[in-house]
Chains A and B, each alone.
Chain A
C-alpha cells in the first residue's frame, strides 16, 4: 500500500499544466524538424521553421506555444494499492486551476448553454483507470479545440471493412483542411462501442509520437493511412507540400458483431502532452 496526499497530487498537476503549454516534448520537436527536412513546398517548409522557432521562444520565455492552452484532458491510471488522502479528483482540478492562473495560461472553459467562461479553466475532463500496482500515473493533454472541432465518429457497418475505415479517417483529415493547424496528429479509435471508440482515439494521442501500435497489423494500417493523408492532404497550414500529418495513432478494442465504430480525434501540431508518475 502507498498513501499519497491530495496536496502533493495538486502540486504535481499544477507543474504539469504550466510546463505542458510552454515546453513541447522532444518527440513533437523531432517530428517537426523531420517534416521540415522532407518538405518540398518552400512556404510550408518556412512555416515549419517558424513552428520550431516558436517552440524555442515559448520554452525560453515561458510563453505558451499557442494562445489556445486548451481544455484539460487528464488520463489518470491509479494502482489498486494506492490510497489517496483527500479527493483525487478535486486535487487534479485544483492543480489545473492553479497552473492556469499562475502560468498566465488562457482560460478557455465555458458553460455550453450560457457560454459564460468559468474563468479558471476548470473543470478539466478526467478519465480514471484502475490497474494493479502501487503507482499513480497522470497524463495531461491540454486540448486545443481548433483541432478538436474537426474530429468525428462513425458507426460503420462491418461490411465497410478496413477500406471503409481508412476512407473515413482520410476524408475526415481532408475535410478539416487548414482549420486544425496541420501538420496534425491523427488519433483513431477502432472498435468497442460509441464512447469507447472516442476514448481510444483520444488516449492514442498520449503515445510517444509516431510509435507504432504494438500489433503489427494495426501498425500497418496506421502507416497506410498516414501515407494517404500526406499524399492527398492540404499540407502545412493548407499551403501545400507533403506534411499534412505527422503521425497516425490507432488503438483498437473488440467490438460487437454488428458494429464497426471508428472515431477520429484530430490534434494540432502543437501536440502538448505530458505524463508524470507518483
Chain B
C-alpha cells in the first residue's frame, strides 16, 4: 500500500470524476485521492434516510433510483432570490450509518459527507463496491458555488431535510474509504503515530 499523498492543495491537482459514476471508475479511486465531482447527485440527511428506509420497510417504491448514484449528506440553508441554493456544506455522516447498508443494497455507489463511518458501513461499502468521500465541513458558502442547479424531489415537509437533486460542477472532495477497504482518517493517524498503516477491514 502506497503512503497517502497529503502534499497536495485541495483545489489543485483534483482528479475530475463524473457522477453518477461510470463503470470501472470507482476501483481507480484510492483513499486520500483528491477529486472534483461534476454531474448530478441526490441529497439526504437524517429524516430523508429515515423516510427512505421506512418506505423500503413497507415494501414501497422509493422516489428515486439509487443505482450508480452519489448521495450527499447536506441540509442546505434556503436560497435567496437569484441564488441556486444557500450554504450547502456537508453534515456529519455517522448519523446516517444506521440506514446506509440498506441503500447500498439498492446500488448506491457513493456517499459524501464529513467524519468517519462505522465498521458495518465500511464492510457494506466494500461488499457492494461503494466509495465514501468527505469535503470541507463548515465551508457551506464556498461549496454552494459548485452547485449549479437544485431541484426538490421529495419530502418537502421535512424542510432542510428534503430530498434534492443537485447538479454540481467541480465539487471538491477527498476519498476517505476506497473499494479496497482503506480509510484515509486511519492513514493520517498512522502517519502521525509513525506506524505502518494496516487496514482494519
In Å, the complex CA distance between A68 and B75 comes to 8
Among candidates B80, B142, B158, residue contacting A117 with C-beta atoms closer than 8 Å: B158
Per-position binary interface string of chain A over residues 102-143, scored 1 when its CB falls under 8 Å from any chain B CB and 0 otherwise: 001111100000010101000000000000000000000000
In Å, the complex CA distance between A144 and B136 comes to 15
Per-position binary interface string of chain B over residues 86-115, scored 1 when its CB falls under 8 Å from any chain A CB and 0 otherwise: 111101101000000000000000000011
Closest to A57 in B: B141
Chain B residue numbers with a CB within 8 Å of A210 are: none
Among candidates A53, A66, A235, residue contacting B89 with C-beta atoms closer than 8 Å: A66
Per-position binary interface string of chain B over residues 58-86, scored 1 when its CB falls under 8 Å from any chain A CB and 0 otherwise: 00000000000000001111111001001
Residue from A65, A105, A146 with most neighbouring chain B CB atoms (10 Å): A146
Among candidates B7, B78, B140, residue contacting A104 with C-beta atoms closer than 8 Å: B78
Known: A65-B87, A119-B159, A237-B136. A104 touches B79 (CB 8 A): yes
Chain B residue numbers with a CB within 8 Å of A69 are: 77, 87
Among candidates B74, B87, B189, residue contacting A63 with C-beta atoms closer than 8 Å: B87
In the complex, the answer to whether B77 meets A181 with C-beta atoms within 8 Å is: no
Residue from B47, B138, B174 with most neighbouring chain A CB atoms (10 Å): B138
Chain A residue numbers with a CB within 8 Å of B34 are: 43
In the complex, the answer to whether A64 meets B141 with C-beta atoms within 8 Å is: yes
Closest to B88 in A: A67
In B115-169, which residues have CB < 8 Å from any A CB? 115-116, 134, 136-145, 158-161
In the complex, the answer to whether A178 meets B11 with C-beta atoms within 8 Å is: no
Any A CB within 8 A of the CB of B192:
yes
* Distance to closest chain B CB from A28 (angstroms): 11
Among candidates A46, A54, A235, residue contacting B138 with C-beta atoms closer than 8 Å: A54
In Å, the complex CA distance between A270 and B137 comes to 9
Any A CB within 8 A of the CB of B196:
no
* Distance to closest chain B CB from A89 (angstroms): 25
In Å, the complex CA distance between A163 and B30 comes to 40
Closest to B135 in A: A237
Chain B residues with a Cβ closer than 8 Å to the other chain, count: 51
Chain A residue numbers with a CB within 8 Å of B185 are: 177-178, 234, 238
In the complex, the answer to whether A178 meets B87 with C-beta atoms within 8 Å is: no
In the complex, the answer to whether A237 meets B75 with C-beta atoms within 8 Å is: no
In B149-201, which residues have CB < 8 Å from any A CB? 158-161, 174, 184-185, 188-189, 191-192
Any B CB within 8 A of the CB of A73:
no
Any B CB within 8 A of the CB of A86:
no
In the complex, the answer to whether A67 meets B75 with C-beta atoms within 8 Å is: yes
Per-position binary interface string of chain A over residues 240-268, scored 1 when its CB falls under 8 Å from any chain B CB and 0 otherwise: 10000000000000000000000000001
Closest to A108 in B: B160
In the complex, the answer to whether A47 meets B87 with C-beta atoms within 8 Å is: no
Query: Mind listing 26 A-B residue pairs with CB under 8 Å?
Result: A43-B6, A43-B7, A47-B10, A50-B139, A54-B136, A55-B141, A57-B141, A63-B141, A65-B140, A66-B140, A106-B86, A106-B160, A115-B47, A149-B92, A177-B185, A179-B94, A179-B114, A234-B185, A235-B188, A237-B134, A238-B115, A238-B134, A238-B185, A239-B184, A240-B192, A270-B138
Which 8 A-B residue pairs are closest in the complex by CB-CB distance? A181-B137, A179-B115, A67-B87, A58-B141, A54-B142, A106-B77, A54-B139, A67-B140
